[in-house]
Amino acid sequence: MSSKMSSEKHGDSLCFFINGKKVIENHADPETTLLSYLREKRRLTGTKYGCGGGGCGACTVMLSRLQPATRTITHYSVNACLLPLCQLHGASVTTVEGVGSTKTRLHPVQERIAKAHGSQCGFCTPGMVMSMYTLLRNSPQPTVEDVTQALAGNLCRCTGYRPIIDGCRTFCQEANCCQANGGEDCCLKGEQRPDEADEETPRLFDIEEFLPLDPTQELIFPPELMLMAEAANPKTLTFRGERMSWVSPSSLEELLQLKARNPEAPLVVGNSNIGPDMKFKGVLHPLVISPTRVTQLFEVTQTPQGVWVGAGCTLAHVRSLLEELLPRLGEEQTGLFRALSRQLGTLGSQQIRNVASLGGNIVSANPNSDLNPVLAAGNCKVSVGSAGGRRELPLNQDFFVSFGKTLLKPEEVLLSVFIPFSRKGEFFGAFRHAPRKESSFSTVTTGMRVFFSQGSRLVQEVSIYYGGMGPTTVSATKTCAAIVSRPWDDETLSRAYDVLLDDLVLPPSAPGGKVEFRRSLTLGFLFQFHLEVLQKLKEMHVITEEIPEKMRPLPREIHRGRQDFQRVSKDQSHQDPVGRPIMHRSALSHATGEAVYCDDLPATEGELFLALVTSSRAHAKIRGLDASEALRLPGVVDVITAKDVPGQKVRKLCGYEEELLADTEVSCVGQMLCAVVADSRSHAKRGAAAVKVAYEDLPDPVFTCEEAAEKSSFFEPRRTIERGNVAEAFESVDQVHEGELRIGGQEHFYMETQSMLVVPVGEETEFNAYVSTQFPALMQEAIAETLGVPSNRVTCHVRRIGGAFGGKVVKTAVLACITAVAAWKTNRAVRCVLERGEDMLITGGRHPVLGQYKVGFMHDGRIVAADFHYYANAGNMADESVLVVEKFLLHFDNAYNIPNLRGHAAACRTHLPSNTAFRGFGVPQSLLVVENMMEDVAALLRRPAHQIREINMYKGPSLTQYKLQFSPENLRRCWEECKLKSDHAARRLAADQFNRENRWRKRGVSMVPVKYGIAFSEGFLNQAAALVHIYKDGSVLVSHGGTEMGQGLHTKMQQVASRELHVPASKVYISETSTNTVPNTGPSAASCGTDVNGMAVQNACQTLYRRLEPIRLRNPKGSWESWVQAAFFEKMSLSATGFYKGPDLYMDWDKTEGRPYAYFTYGVCCCEVELDCLTGDYRALRTDIVADIGRSVNPSVDIGQIEGAFMQGLGLFTLEELKFSPSGLLYTRGPSQYKIPALCDVPLRFNVYLLPDSSNPHAIYSSKGIGEPVLFLGSAAFFAIKDAVAAARSESGLLGPFSLNSPATPERACLACASPFTRKIPASKPGSFKPWAINI
């Protein structure tokens, strides 16, 4: 801080409470958020950093305040990552640590989420706990709808949400539970169902074991804060930080004077707009004004004409206010209130609505605002004030001047908003469409109002506003003119649709893209409003004709699902946990926030933080890198470049090299150039922003697979495989068809971003590396090679990982090496934790794929020949892409015995960030192309797709295309079982009936199989080792080479050790995975972690148990502890290593034969969806999965893996979309732009059945790997959507195969429906404009 700054007064003291303890902060920095304060200053690390932008809910805490006017205490959930510390004066904060702990007492919320198996990696769990805890503080007996609303802003990448809902719904009162709402099964019965009341039915958890909820035991609101809130004459508070000041005035007059003196200073209430701008766009405001203590901004006044609502009122408060007024005022007066309430229900998340203000939402003038079109259409007005006086302004087209700008003068403050009562004969419509149903910015929104003459259908007034159709909220003026003074009928509206297209013109290169879809939505919304108004007119007996279709919202109520698994044998010892649904061994620590992740490790003295500088060009030479300005900034210690690397400067993989830090040339936006190390995160980040890089662009960057193929830009080798004679077979078929499918990429979106801490031990160049990685041995090896030291000087420690999915291997090694160089150069501990946007930019994800196929088939449905070409967009580095494309060809037969089958696969070298391993490792993309071909054949033959699949399925002893013999019996069993359990035939008929009765809603049903090979095809990667110690007190410590990333591996290893040593699982502990206990391990990947590590642990435990045999025989009635004591005194070693060689797997690509997999895991999924043809929105009504996983070691863990994988697949194929600019920059760098499935995407009925009576001789206890296979079954939702789209197309006379690329987003589904509205939109000619995003 400068001497001038330090000589100034630091500002006022900030007083608030955390978990019942008083906190006085004398140096509150306005740039500090509650999240960083809790984690770094208070060491309360249970609150997690997931995205930093209020989009994931991992940082949720509860805020409590006293409202002096009503003397009521309000509790609300907030995102700590957006909440400025300075906003907390007089508030009480409750974090997950304050709710309960394993040391004192667990709170029922924590216990139920844990015991209902709602935690896997556990990183999102504290946020889930806090959202649910806040709900229970406000409503101890919530409804299921309350639960889903409360959790809508919390993302989870592991579980698939079902167990979280199941745990939370145990708090619901019976009158509001699923049974009372028409559900078949009651949520209050644990796993018991009326149709299976038999005591023998195994259950995943038992509700009888749960602690009751006792609201009297909660923390009280601090009395000291009550006195503070009620104190007379509150004073203005000022807080000064390193770069900015924060002023919180206590009166309106003072606020207006302050704004007059500082017209450019923004007003901050919820920080949901200013906060992200400062954090992600580097905007700096020297002064911020916080008007949260100005009571006039929160007043609500009712007049005979309507209601004045204070601009400071939060959106949540506005909604509850409107809901309160509805029954008091009656339907006629509340049309606008209902429309606003409808929009507020899905605007942001509960956490955002709890802090974002009505005034802030209006004046931020977001072009796709949910509220502004409705307020404008409803003739609302605002009252604004300044030091010079007050004025009222109508909220209309003129109010919104340009992007982010309104009519307000810089010195004016929005004081209140007037919402008028509606009149008789006046109707309102409010519609929105967003990429995800909840917690998502809108694509297009609209507010519509029509007013009729008394008892007539003649339109007297009409007002239509849209958001998302330009830089501001826009009025469809010409359209209104075409409707007014005319009767409200089809003829008038038909004319209006054509006028609307001219009214709202969107250029083809408009920001945000989706131009055809957005224009189509404007028509679809007007049509929906048309139908709603006709319905109203009919109810009022103004018209008598039949309404074409009553539009109703998509179903949303989540019912209880089924989870069927086999009970263990009655002969099995009660102490033996194998086969039982054991809770994740860390679940309670997850739920209490006690579980320690990499960035939760306390800082060591002198620790530095590392921030990366990345390329802003896709293809360029580096002409200069100037770090001088960065080095002059406060706190910056050093800048690390390629020249600082003492050892190997590259990482080698698949025959290609990847530079750790680019030195002379860059080949993608986001490539790492150098790193800045500083004494804090913020200083390092500012330092990185100050580094200047000069580039010389190189010509013709390559971004797409087509461009790469045209220029022969590939990573070699390319692969080909063939069985039979494809060319010959095409000559003898009845019909030949060619098609292609594009599959978009996918971001891992592990909840814990890339995190590492490298600590120099201080002597002999020894380092401890704490890394969030799936492959500790690779980190050790990579760091050692980079530093030029032997591997024995580097120890890598991994306690747990907050999700990985394949994304914490190759790029993690590069990041760990850079961090290690910084630690080596500075001789200080260095921490590197990527921000979400950086992580998404740098680390790549799943490969986008272009699949082309030619298929020859007979009229009876038999496929005789198929030829596939796969092109994977590998990005700028080889990474593991060559191995991924090999896996395309090892799986592209899927479940089908196509006698003549050929595949070609290539990894395309492009100028995008390199893609890498991702759960499924290429198999989901490969199989989607195959299944799309099946759908095409079915469409051409006019037969149901499941019949074509069945006809071509493997039968009897079979050979794969690489000549591996296998039995498909369990695959066919899964197929038949799924048909039966899902009631497929009846539901198919019911969907067809529904489609005949509904024009704008369609249902689709699809049933898809998967055959997935388990283990690494490179045999050496299948080895595993373990180290087991027995201590003198009888406790057991197990170490093995696998890492715990949410898949329950440590839990299963605990079960293995418990069985083999014949001791209770409670005696077995697993601390961490480290390279100094178990060396030379393989990665935790390929769905074989339990298979290989389980065998190694078993081997070690059996060695020890045999060693104890003489003692056991001498004293058969002795206790375990007595045997261990005796062994110690007899000088027996109570430590053993275990080793598992693993199967000798291989693939010979020259001979195109081998045994690349130990065995196959099978599964079948039936999915039914309902599609809104006007918007492309869909809801998965029901999903039934039958999976053959042998004999499950732990059914709760395995069912959790199945559900989580399905939801990740559903995201891949229907929702998640990566968008790149024409210059190769990733647009979608956080949860606000990139949508993973949320709770609103869970199938309304989600059933999982483990195939009974299955076994597997190739893995521990006859189990099977399950982590990856089921992800592909998410494609059942894709094909169900495609089925519904086909039904919609048939209404327009369009039959046969059609193109629907993946993901089947609402945009793609809506346009594919080819409704009369979408066909009105003139298509822009490719090449005639520069698109906003390129089609990867």
Q: Give all strands of the β-sheet with 1159-1172 in edge-to-edge order.
A: 563-564, 1245-1250, 1178-1188, 1159-1172, 1001-1014
SS3 category, 953: strand
Collect all residues with Cβ–Cβ distance below 8 Å to 1024 and sequence separation of at least 6.
1040, 1041, 1042, 1081, 1082, 1092, 1093, 1095, 1096, 1139, 1140, 1142
How many other β-carbons are positioned within 10 Å of the β-carbon of residue 223? Answer: 8
- Residues forming beta bridges with residue 831, ordered by sequence position: 609, 757
Q: Which two tokens stand for residue 1143?
A: 């199967």
Q: Which two tokens stand for residue 988?
A: 């198919």
In 138-286, the DSSP E strands lie at: 237-240, 245-248
How many other β-carbons are positioned within 10 Å of the β-carbon of residue 821? Answer: 28
Q: What is the DSSP letter of 895?
A: T
Collect all residues with Cβ–Cβ distance below 8 Å to 277 and sequence separation of at least 6.
283
Task: Quote the longest CA-to-CA distance of the chain.
Answer: 103
- CB contact at 8 A, 238 and 247: yes
Q: What is the DSSP letter of 500?
A: H
Set 438, 781, 880, 1268: catalytic member: 1268
User: Of 121, 118, 13, 153, whose CA–CA distance to 1231 is shortest?
Assistant: 153
Which helix or strand (DSSP H or E) is residue 289 part of? strand 287-289
Going by their DSSP bridges, the two strands 459-467 and 444-452 should be labelled as: antiparallel
What's the CA gap between 432 and 102, in Å, rounded? 44
Instruction: Decide: residue 940, CB within 10 A, 0-12 exposed, 13-18 middle, 19+ buried.
Output: middle
- SS3 of 180-217: the string is CCCCCCCHHHCCCECCECCCCCCCCCCHHHCCCCCHHH
Residue in the block written with tokens 């640590």: 97
Give Cα 176 distance to the centre of its chain.
29
What does 720-785 look like in DSSP terms, one character per residue? EEEES-HHHHHTT-SEEEEEEEEE--B----SSPSEEEEEE-SSTT-EEEEE--S-HHHHHHHHHH
* 1268 among known catalytic residues: yes
In 360-519, the DSSP E strands lie at: 381-386, 389-394, 400-402, 405-406, 413-420, 426-433, 444-452, 459-467, 474-475
Q: Which two tokens stand for residue 1295?
A: 């039959």
Dihedral sign, CA of 571, 574, 577, 581?
Answer: positive
Half-sphere exposure for 1039 (CA within 13 Å, toward CB): 19
- Residues forming beta bridges with residue 616, ordered by sequence position: none
Collect all residues with Cβ–Cβ distance below 8 Å to 1256 and sequence separation of at least 6.
1159, 1190, 1191, 1262, 1263, 1264
How many other β-carbons are positioned within 10 Å of the β-carbon of residue 987? Answer: 17
1269: left (phi over 0), alpha (psi -120 to 50) or beta: alpha
Residue type at position 474: V
What's the CA gap between 1035 and 1069, in Å, rounded? 8
**Degrees (nearest 5) of the Cα angle 609, 775, 1271?**
110
Q: Report, as residue numbers or ranges, the catalytic residues.
A: 1268
